[in-house]
Structure 1
Amino acid sequence: MQENRTVQQNPSPNRKARVVVLKTGSTYPGLLVQFGDFDDWFLRGLLPELDITVTNVEADELPGSPEDWDGIVVTGSPAMVSDRADWSENTGAWLARAVAGEIPVLGVCYGHQLLAHALGGEVGYHPKGRETGTHQVELLPEADSDTLFRGLPAIFPAQLTHRQSVLRLPAGAVLLGRNGFEPNQAFRIGPCAWGVQFHPEFTDTVMSAYLEVQAPDLTREGLDAQALIAGVSPAPDASSLLPRFSRLVIKRAR
């Protein structure tokens, strides 16, 4: 079913920045009932001054031209970028146009991987398997001068759940963050397009619920599901990327 809906959040004559959220999939059915879907989580984290449209690209909807938007957010997905589904490839080509046009982009998890793939990077299954739960992200010195990341702590917790990764960054990309498991946790390409493997839209409650659903698979994969659940903690610095991106978009749109 196609979805293309607009959510006007406290519109102001001084702040009319238009952001499109590209929805690339849906969460587990049980979590959907309890917490809403991926796009709902982003709407809660982005600033209310934005005029936000949600477009379900998995249903082959693309939201006009990238130049129609002041900012673009790409959600996570249970799909795999390496499958190269038609809707995903079409969305990737659209994102490449957005980057060329210097439209601010924030790709998260699947969105992070799709952005890298669309611009010539390599995406595939992580050789060590799944990363899930609350884990530390380390910022590199390049983040100190980055317009989205500067001012964040050098190391902060983030919520993560993924089996595929950016195995090779696109040419010209600037690596901003990593950890011991995932060398490409965050990058920028061009002046205003970012990918983050971690989930700034996840709360610790959502992360715990994910681990509860994943627990049987985690056990089969040799991971300690209960230890991962016990290790979940809030990740406010990671979550701050959504209001940070909002402010960046609003400022550029003036």
Structure 2
Amino acid sequence: MTSPSILIVQVGTPPAEVRDPFGDLPDWFCRALGCTAEAVEVVRVFEGEKLPSPDASRVAVITGSWAMVTDRLPWSEEAAQWVRDAMEIGMPLFGVCYGHQLMAHALGGRVDYHPRGREVGCKEISLSPAAAEDSFLRNWPEVFKAHLTHEQSVIKLPPGAQVLASSEHDPHQIVRYGPNAISTQFHPEFTPQVSEACIRRRADVLRAEGADPDVLVSELEDTGEARRLLKTFVELACCEPSR
């Protein structure tokens, strides 16, 4: 039996108050990609499930998580080694939030808590000058909105990695690691409703940090360009004639 061309590397699951109304992370990604659950293979590495051998004819999406890359959990370090192996054969990879940080860590970068604290809400993402020369992003809007929620960030890029976008808070919002490997600190799979649930869940913490959850919620909007980034990458990887 042929494996689905899309592999979702699931590195966590939402808290019940977010998961119950909106589903698990693979559901979010399937909705963003416009595909059915049958069209993807999900490997829950955070529960000890083993990844298949890297395969350049498939595309892997590495999800976000409620864990921290700096904890160096055994399953996370195994996934980091898998990323290195996948990079060696040119397998298409798209990392999101934790997946973004995991890819940077795996390839020699440094991940840690952001010195300015948490970034949360719907924020502007600005392409870097290098994006104008990037084959994937050169026709993308120079500024677009995306949903964010993270405490840790890529603090130092891996050797050879290139920044393609930033936010006011975080300089490493889109990073390219090679011809077929890219990652985003923001969440292209989030809807305003998911983002609101994440904000409401941490309302007391956000207030203690000086943020207003009600204002953050009022600023939420659909982030079509962020979602299209993920969808287009996966579609191009799946439709590449050589694959």
User: Which bracket does the TM-score occupy, shorter chain normalised?
Assistant: over 0.9
Any idea what the Cα deviations from partners look like across 1:74-125, whole Å, max 9, x if unmatched?
0000000001000000000101111111100000000000000000000000
Any idea what the Cα deviations from partners look like across 1:194-242, whole Å, max 9, x if unmatched?
1100000001111111111111110111212221111111111001122
- Give the root-mean-square deviation of aligned CA atoms: 1.9
Using the TM superposition, give the Cα deviation of residue 68 of structure 1 relative to its aligned residue in structure 2, in angstroms: 6.8
Using the TM superposition, give the Cα deviation of residue 147 of structure 1 relative to its aligned residue in structure 2, in angstroms: 3.7
Instruction: Say whether 1:199 aligns with 2:168.
Output: no
Q: Aligned runs of 1:73-84 on 2, under 5 Å?
A: 73-84=61-72
Any idea what the Cα deviations from partners look like across 1:145-173, whole Å, max 9, x if unmatched?
33433322100000000000000110000
Using the TM superposition, give the Cα deviation of residue 20 of structure 1 relative to its aligned residue in structure 2, in angstroms: 0.7
TM-score with structure 1 length normalisation?
0.90
Check the 8 A contact 1:19/1:69 in 2, yes or no: no
Using the TM superposition, give the Cα deviation of residue 51 of structure 1 relative to its aligned residue in structure 2, in angstroms: 3.5
Report % sequence identity.
Answer: 40
Could you tell me how far apart the structure 2 residues matched to 1:137 and 1:19 are?
26
Which of these residues, 42, 46, 56, is aligned with residue 54 of structure 1?
A: 42
Using the TM superposition, give the Cα deviation of residue 248 of structure 1 relative to its aligned residue in structure 2, in angstroms: 1.3
Any idea what the Cα deviations from partners look like across 1:43-80, whole Å, max 9, x if unmatched?
11224399310000101222220127511000000000
Could you tell me how far apart the structure 2 residues matched to 1:144 and 1:68 are?
27
Q: Aligned runs of 1:13-28 on 2, under 5 Å?
A: 18-28=5-15
* Structure 2 equivalent of residue 227 of structure 1: 215
Q: Aligned runs of 1:137-176 on 2, under 5 Å?
A: 137-176=125-164
Check the 8 A contact 2:4/2:41 in 1, yes or no: no
Which of these residues, 18, 23, 29, is aligned with residue 42 of structure 1?
A: 29
Check the 8 A contact 2:56/2:90 in 1, yes or no: no
Could you tell me how far apart the structure 1 residues matched to 2:159 and 2:179 are?
14
* Structure 1 equivalent of residue 106 of structure 2: 118
Using the TM superposition, give the Cα deviation of residue 131 of structure 1 relative to its aligned residue in structure 2, in angstroms: 0.3
Ranges in structure 1 where 5+ consecutive residues have no aligned partner: 1-5, 9-15
* Structure 2 equivalent of residue 249 of structure 1: 237
* Structure 2 equivalent of residue 13 of structure 1: none
State how many pairs are aligned.
241
Could you tell me how far apart the structure 2 residues matched to 1:68 and 1:106 are?
13
Could you tell me how far apart the structure 2 residues matched to 1:169 and 1:138 are?
18
Check the 8 A contact 1:20/1:69 in 2, yes or no: no
